[in-house]
Amino acid sequence: MKFLNHRSTMSSHLLLVVLILCNTLSHGSFNSIYNSFVNCLTTKSIPQKDISQIVYSPNNPLFNPILQTYIRNRRFFNFTTSKPVLIVTPSKEFQVSSIVLCTKESDLQLKIRSGGHDYEGISYISNVPFIMLDMFNLREIYMDVYAETAWVQAGATLGEIYYNIWTKSDLLGFPAGVCHTVGVGGHVSGGGYGNMLRKFGLSVDNVLDARLVDVNGRILDRKSMGEDLFWAIKGGGGASFGVILAFKIRLVRVPETVTYFRVERFLDNQNVIDVVVQWQNVASKIDNDLFIRLLIQPITTKHENKTKGARNTKTIRATFIALFLGDSSRLMSLVNNELPALGLIKQDCFEMSWIDSVLRWASFVNTTKPISLLNRTGDPSHFLKRKSDYVHEPISRDGLDSIFKKVISLEKVAIVFNPYGGRMAEIREDETPFPHRESVLFKIQYAVNWDEEGVVIEKEHLSHIRDMYNFMTPYVSSNPREAYLNYRDLDIGTNDHGKNSLEEGRIYGTKYFKNNFDRLVKVKSAVDPTNFFRNEQSIPTQTHSFGKENKGSCFTISSVLVLGECLILMSIILF
């Protein structure tokens, strides 16, 4: 242990020296990049006064606050994490076109961030020099209550959508996620999953139009982009194809009264396995108005023993969280008939408006007002890792027993079961790039959070969630083992966009998109043949382009080399 601590101390000292050296070497490079980028934007008819308010170099005191505000995973919130050479925060849609064109001319990578909830941080980190395009200033929402539609810019949050709907109507809603700080651009283009999917499907199933900036800087809508590209950005991830500016969404009608419940059952003294077995058999088949999420967590309970005193016991807590689009009387009748093992009682059920259910699902206290949904930053972030699976066949009683024992032994990993069925089962797998439809009983999210800093602690938690994921192999989908794009997971494959780009992309692409992957590749090859819009898990082109354009480069290649060498040297020290 002393050796490890000594080695860690030496690495830290050496890293500090390298960081100082890199800062000294790259100070001029950053200025060169900034000046060249600004000059390029000027040639695109953006006034200097506007440029100074949207382009930030690392020398700008606002650079770090802007970068850090929307980092939602503390794993990517430290001084060793790669940072952009520039941050650009457009306030008008036409500015995005110029930003794309100038980034192309600079021969740098472009990363696009709308809310920062990407679990692997790939919207704001990279292993090569990059420019980060942050969409948070583009968050206008234009409601048309009479048409029951809205145009929502990519930088808006889900909470802002819900709040704006509520200010105009008590009887309209939108099927999207329960976390109110999630950005629209990534959430919707990746599928958009929420607690009304059994009634109304995914967010992308309710997208009517879109505006996007393509690789040539053109602002396109559904008509001008064509149905193939429009299809691709409805679940295939927008960042592979362009910059999503806005979506036109169809609002849905919700009842005046909805019902919420959250009940807990414990493995040591209640029939948890019986309830979960029954839940598996009915949760995807019950009335479409009802969505019941199941959260499995390892906990430690304290028991009093007359002879041995207090004793801690490790067990499982199963939490059933529901949204029912109706009143509690009808809900009680449904649950008692279809899921009697749960033992739901009237006192468990709380009737409320739809907007209040949004607040409750977002973990606000029941006295919170809807205006709280406009808080874009939310709670302080944790260190975290997520993984996903899909289940097509019910897990046996013995299987569940083994899973619960594994969860208890690992102590740190929680599992969330989200039921499908209903509207999800009515939509063809190829209707959108999101393919996990008819045969899915429920989706699994594996989650681990921690607050302690340090490499050893991180490795321990990552090891636990990967162990749990491997243990689940016999119980989940296979060939491919499916995964959900918006639960981004770099463990299942990454792409360095070299000569094997298509083969590398197929590894993770078939897990996210199944048979839709090949069509996504064709669309990508047609609309972005030089693979400008790329990230660690983007859609590849059919044939790799070895020669990237570098005409009219905004700055010299030596600037990139200086930054790149610093990144490589830091990586060697750290790993």
Distance CA 63, CA 226 (A): 37
Alpha-helix runs per DSSP H in 52-147: 63-69, 93-106
Crossing angle (nearest 10°) for helices 501-513 and 517-527? 130
State which H helix or E strand residue 163 sits in.
helix 158-168
Distance CA 485, CA 445 (A): 12
255: phi then psi, degrees, rounded to nearest 5: -70, 160
Distance CA 282, CA 547 (A): 55
| 234 touches 272 (CB < 8 A) | no
Q: Which residue has the tokens 């020296």?
A: 17
Write the DSSP symbol of residue 73.
B
How much of the chain is in helix, strand and coil states, percent to nearest 5?
40, 20, 40
Of 236, 234, 242, nearest in space to 213 by CA: 242
Distance CA 94, CA 213 (A): 9
The strand pair at 86-88 and 130-134 is best described as: parallel
Distance CA 468, CA 407 (A): 7
Please provide the distance, in angstroms rounded to a whole number, between the alpha carbons at the two ends of the chain.
Answer: 18
Q: Enumerate residues 6+ apart whose C-beta is below 8 A from 145.
A: 168, 169, 172
Distance CA 266, CA 271 (A): 8
Distance CA 246, CA 175 (A): 17
State which H helix or E strand residue 2 sits in.
helix 2-43
> Catalytic residues, which ones?
487
CA 276 to chain CA centroid, Å, is 27
Peptide bond preceding 480: is omega within 30 degrees of 0, i.e. cis?
yes
Distance CA 385, CA 492 (A): 13
Query: What totals of helices (H) and strands (E) does the chain contain, helices first?
Result: 17, 18
Amino acid at 155: G
